[in-house]
């Protein structure tokens, strides 16, 4: 009889324990569901974003293409947001493919893009521009190479051709603030190898070396895209939490978007899926068979025009 009573008490204790734990876990999970955002709408609504930062190629536009009217319309927001484009491209390229298209759209459709809240950094963040009400730009930030650095870069290019072949570099573009090389052999593995080659030989010259999202070229500059964000942050008196950053190539080890992964900022990857900590992959929410500008457009419409 005593043994029977002990078994009954043991059974009752197990049942009560299970009920208690089930209740506790259910309550805990419910709290988590209430606190943790489960959709892009929830994620965006949970933050007080003051500035939208966008990469250009493969993010705002497809490579070599001009910005579409749908994207321009999305940027003509009524929230009064500051908008900043940070790109590896030269100013002339951005002007032809983005800025002139916005000016033309404004004129054709009688719209009003607020240029006074627009910032542009070209040359992988090395040259910064602000705009007046008419859309005319003024350079306010510029980090250029010294003569010694320019000479050293040219020498490394010759060293590269000597090791990989005279036709290994397909073409180069150079300004006072950026040197870009396009290569014959391309791809992620090749770009990583080339970045390491240039980095080792220019390690004493305090330059930044990164690869573009095209996986065909590398850029050499004095600063990176992250520096551009720090400049805007200082000008506007912002915190990292005020930033929403959208790019496509955070995944690559030497990508030029990687430096824009600000701790505490809301960072979206519209390129290939990446497991890098701090990123929100739009392919988890939008069509996984597409990426790039279409994902950016979907994201902007959610952010700027919530239902």
- Other residues' Cβ atoms within 10 Å of the Cβ of residue 42: 10
Instruction: Tokens 């072949």: give the residue.
Output: 165
pLDDT bucket at 154, cuts 50 / 70 / 90: very high
User: Mean pLDDT throughout 126-155?
Assistant: 96
Domains 49-140+223-304 and 147-220 share a fold: no
Q: What share of the chain is helix, strand, coil (3-state, %, to 5)?
A: 45, 20, 35
Sign of the dihedral through C-alpha 135, 71, 44, 276: negative
Task: Compute the distance between CA of residue 278 and CA of residue 276 in angstroms, rounded to an integer.
Answer: 6
**What is the DSSP secondary-structure string of 233-273?**
HHHHT--GGGEEEEES-SSSTTBTTGGG--TTSEEEE-SS-
Residues 261, 279 contacting (CB under 8 angstroms): yes
pLDDT bucket at 29, cuts 50 / 70 / 90: very low
What is 147-220's CATH number, 3.30.1240.20, 3.20.20.480, 3.40.50.10790, 3.40.50.300? 3.30.1240.20
Beta bridge pairs of residue 164? none
More confident residue, 54 or 80: 54
> Which token pair is 26?
């259910």
pLDDT bucket at 277, cuts 50 / 70 / 90: confident
CATH number for the domain running over 49-140+223-304: 3.40.50.1000
The percentage of the chain sitting over the pLDDT mark of 70, rounded to a whole number, equals 86
pLDDT bucket at 307, cuts 50 / 70 / 90: low
**pLDDT, tens digit, for every residue of 190-210?**
999 999 999 999 999 999 999
Instruction: Tokens 């650095």: give the residue.
Output: 149
- In 3D space, the residue among 59, 54, 73, 43 whose CA is nearest the CA of residue 285 turns out to be 43
- Residue-averaged pLDDT of the chain: 86
**pLDDT, tens digit, for every residue of 96-114?**
999 999 999 999 999 989 9
> Which token pair is 288?
């996984």
User: Can you give the residue ranges of every domain in the chain?
Assistant: 2-36, 49-140+223-304, 147-220
Instruction: Tokens 């004493």: give the residue.
Output: 204
**pLDDT, tens digit, for every residue of 208-251?**
999 987 899 999 999 999 999 999 999 999 999 999 999 998 88
Cα 245–Cα 110–Cα 66 angle in degrees, nearest 5: 45
User: Mean pLDDT throughout 126-147?
Assistant: 96
Q: Is 26 a residue whose pLDDT tops 60?
A: no
Q: List C-alpha distances in Å: 67 to 110, 117, 225, 304.
A: 18, 19, 21, 18
User: Mean pLDDT throughout 154-183?
Assistant: 96
Beta bridge pairs of residue 82? 51
- Other residues' Cβ atoms within 10 Å of the Cβ of residue 259: 21
Task: Compute the distance between CA of residue 285 and CA of residue 269 in angstroms, rounded to an integer.
Answer: 11
What's the burial of 20, exposed, middle or buried (CB within 10 Å: 0-12/13-18/19+)?
exposed
């Amino acid at each position: 009889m005593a043994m029977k009573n002990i078994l009954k008490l043991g059974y009752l204790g197990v049942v009560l324990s299970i009920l208690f734990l089930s209740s506790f876990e259910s309550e805990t999970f419910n709290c988590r569901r209430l606190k943790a955002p489960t959709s892009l709408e929830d994620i965006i609504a949970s933050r007080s974003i003051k500035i939208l930062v966008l990469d250009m190629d493969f993010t705002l536009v497809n490579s070599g293409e001009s910005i579409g009217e749908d994207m321009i319309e999305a940027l003509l927001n009524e929230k009064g947001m500051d908008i900043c484009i940070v790109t590896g491209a030269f100013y002339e390229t951005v002007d032809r493919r983005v800025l002139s298209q916005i000016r033309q759209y404004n004129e054709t459709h009688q719209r009003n893009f607020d240029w006074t809240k627009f910032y542009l950094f070209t040359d992988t963040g090395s040259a910064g521009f602000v705009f007046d009400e008419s859309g005319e730009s003024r350079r306010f930030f510029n980090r250029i190479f010294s003569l010694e650095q320019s000479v050293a870069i040219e020498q490394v290019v010759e060293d590269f051709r000597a090791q990989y072949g005279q036709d290994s570099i397909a073409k180069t573009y150079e300004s006072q603030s950026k040197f870009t090389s396009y290569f014959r052999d391309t791809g992620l593995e090749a770009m990583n190898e080339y970045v390491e080659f240039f980095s080792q030989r220019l390690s004493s010259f305090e330059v930044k070396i990164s690869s573009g999202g095209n996986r065909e070229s590398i850029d050499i500059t004095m600063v990176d895209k992250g520096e551009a964000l720090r400049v805007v942050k200082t000008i506007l008196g912002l915190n990292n939490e005020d930033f929403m950053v959208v790019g496509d190539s955070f995944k690559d080890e030497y990508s030029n978007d990687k430096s824009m992964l600000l701790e505490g900022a809301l960072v979206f990857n519209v390129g290939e899926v990446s497991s890098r900590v701090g990123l929100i992959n739009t392919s988890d929410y939008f069509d996984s068979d597409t990426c790039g500008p279409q994902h950016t457009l979907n994201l902007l419409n959610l952010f700027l025009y919530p239902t």
